[in-house]
């Protein structure tokens, strides 16, 4: 690393913090990309226990920037914040019939990186896609039909109308036959056969 890169980014790490990594990540995700005053406000009003630990790391990073690099703490931006898994402390709890149930006490390492607002490489803001323009459809032009000879079309319609009742009757008969029969007991069937 060159001297210029070192001055751009200041970091602080807290190791072996007795908080589950997943719980700490949920807090860290809220402050990533924010300025230091905004992040302090967010952490002050967060009800999670991990927020206290993250706040300590943030204070340490700001102190490092002010003492070692001569930067102003309130002008810094959190350019990176992540949580790594630490050692898992394994304990056992007795259970019924002489068995043992494992207890995993997880730890994590919290890292926060600060940089001056000029050099901060922040993720692009997520903006909603632009609304699609509403296109009004024009009513389709209705073409005028050519005059139709009424006498020529009347006869085929009359024949079709005469055929329709027969077709409906044929369709209704199979529907009546397809009706499922009730199941009868074995005794009832034998009794019906004897009669």
Same domain, 48 and 111: yes
What are the Cα distances from residue 91, in Å, to 87, 102, 154?
Answer: 13, 6, 93
Residue 130 is predicted with a pLDDT of 74
144 part of a folded domain: no
Same domain, 107 and 167: no
Residue 169 in tokens: 């009757």
Same domain, 13 and 97: yes
Same domain, 17 and 107: yes
Residue 6 is predicted with a pLDDT of 46
70 part of a folded domain: yes
Cα torsion for 14, 20, 23, 27, to the nearest 10°? 0
112 part of a folded domain: yes
Task: Tell me the C-alpha distance between 31 and 113, whole Å.
Answer: 11
- Measured at the alpha carbon of residue 54, what is the angle toward residues 52 and 57, in degrees to the nearest 5? 115
Residue 133 is predicted with a pLDDT of 76
Same domain, 168 and 110: no
Same domain, 163 and 71: no
17 part of a folded domain: yes
Q: Return averaged pLDDT per consecutive 10 residues of the chain, 195 residues in all.
A: 58 97 97 96 96 97 94 94 97 96 97 84 61 71 61 56 54 56 71 78
Same domain, 101 and 160: no
128 part of a folded domain: no
pTM score: 0.58
Residue 4 is predicted with a pLDDT of 42
User: Which range marks the domain in which residue 169 is found?
Assistant: 153-194
Counted domains in the chain: 2
Task: Tell me the C-alpha distance between 57 and 13, whole Å.
Answer: 7
């Amino acid at each position: 690393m060159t001297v210029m890169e070192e001055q751009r980014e200041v970091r602080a790490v807290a190791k072996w913090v007795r908080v589950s990594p997943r719980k700490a990540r949920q807090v860290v995700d809220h402050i990533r990309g924010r300025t230091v005053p905004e992040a302090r406000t967010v952490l002050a009003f967060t009800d999670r226990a991990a927020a206290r630990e993250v706040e300590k790391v943030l204070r340490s990073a700001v102190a490092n920037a002010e003492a070692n690099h001569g930067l102003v703490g309130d002008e810094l931006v959190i350019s990176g914040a992540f949580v790594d898994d630490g050692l898992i402390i394994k304990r056992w709890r007795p259970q019924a019939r002489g068995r043992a149930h494992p207890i995993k006490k997880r730890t994590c390492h919290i890292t926060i990186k600060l940089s001056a607002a000029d050099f901060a490489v922040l993720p692009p803001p997520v903006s909603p896609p632009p609304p699609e323009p509403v296109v009004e459809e024009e009513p389709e032009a209705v073409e005028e039909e050519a005059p139709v000879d009424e006498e020529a079309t009347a006869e085929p319609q009359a024949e079709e109308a005469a055929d329709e009742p027969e077709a409906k009757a044929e369709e209704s008969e199979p529907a009546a036959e397809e009706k499922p029969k009730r199941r009868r007991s074995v005794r009832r069937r034998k009794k019906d056969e004897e009669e």
